Amino acid sequence: MTARRFEFRVRGSLSDRTRDEFYGLAVADAPPETIIFGEVVDESHLHGILALVRSLDLHLISMHEIRD
Q: What is the pLDDT of residues 3-16, one digit of tens each?
A: 899 999 999 999 99
Model pTM score: 0.92
Asked if the model's pLDDT at residue 58 lies above 70, the reply is yes
Domain of 42 in residue numbering reads as 4-66
CATH of residue 37's domain is 3.30.70.100
Could you tell me the CA-to-CA distances from 47 to 7, 17, 30, 63 in Å, in that order? 14, 21, 24, 12
pLDDT score of 61: 98
Give dist(CA 52, CA 67) in Å, integer. Answer: 23
pLDDT score of 1: 62
Q: How many domains does the chain divide into?
A: 1
